[in-house]
Structure 1
Amino acid sequence: MPEEGSESRSFRIIPLICALLAIALGLLTLIGWISGVPLLASVRASYIPMAPSTAFCFTLIGVGLIAHLLKAALRWIPRVVASVVLAVVCAKLVEIFGDLNFGIDPWFVRNPGLFGAVPTGRMAPMTAINFLFIGTGLLALTGRQPAKFAGPLGALAAVIGAVVLVGYWYGTPLLYGGHTIPVALSTA
């Protein structure tokens, strides 16, 4: 029978590893865009690359989760990080669905190339919605009843990501060939 301490430790190690992977993936993508090596932002040349704004949000979420896991005195960091991510994705959703332009993506990539009929370097609507769930979940982790909200929001984000992964697995990524920006494989 496993000790209670080892069980608690594994519940911290797994999210810590996931947070580190999110940071690494985000930074690798940003390096790819900055260096002009788009393959670093994508899994394959035939797949749409992760948008720099998505990589930025991934990195922030990873930092916020690490701060949440490691030190109780740093609880303000996940709140700030989640607030920044939520501000970015809410602005993106308003841009996408409200036909307004806050110019968020040009902060990272001024003149993106095209992937079929859609521009690269732009956050997908489904990605923005997922970050809405993830950012709200991270914010909920710092509250009084984190499991009440953070768990379901994380599960919802995981299900959406899994659906996208299944599409890639079967060679029919969702929204490819249309006019809506698809979710990058590395984002799912």
Structure 2
Amino acid sequence: MSELHHTPAPDATSNDALQQAFDATMVADGTIEPNDFMPDAYRRTLVRQISQHAHSEIVGMLPEGNWITRAPSLRRKQILLAKVQDEAGHGLYLYAAAETLGVTREQLVDDLLDGTAKYSSIFNYPTLTWADIGAIGWLVDGAAIMNQVPLQRCSYGPYARAMQRICKEESFHQRQGYES
């Protein structure tokens, strides 16, 4: 993963106090914000998780985007356009959350392109029929909602706030998939 840029604690005593404050926040189910102290392992894990999530949102819009011109009706085309636009926005929200951890969007995308970073493998399957698009919306987005709702209460503030907005839109996507 790309190098993270942050300022280390000045000395061991100070670092111990910062670690204790971090641990107390975690025990109290508190929120960590970008300027708060966080251990390097916590920061690295967040970068990996948020970037994988962002990449999955961006890559996930590609199979559906291929069907925009072939949607069976103007109404379905309009819905699919809105969904693809939403998914792009989700990726951007998540890239912005990752950037608060000291990585650049360019680093994140480079890591995806060189294979260092991953995305959800479900998007590697072909979408050969309109029914595949419905299945993505109903089943894949439904499963995503189950995984993402708890993230609205995660310990990292920017990620939790991004997830609150994303989860509202994912519910719309699941409903549209069911109706397809």
Larger helix share, 1 or 2: 2
* Larger-Rg structure: 2
Bigger relative CO (Cα 8 Å, ≥ 6 apart):
2
Question: TM-score band (shorter)?
Answer: 0.3 to 0.5
TM-score (norm: length of structure 2):
0.32
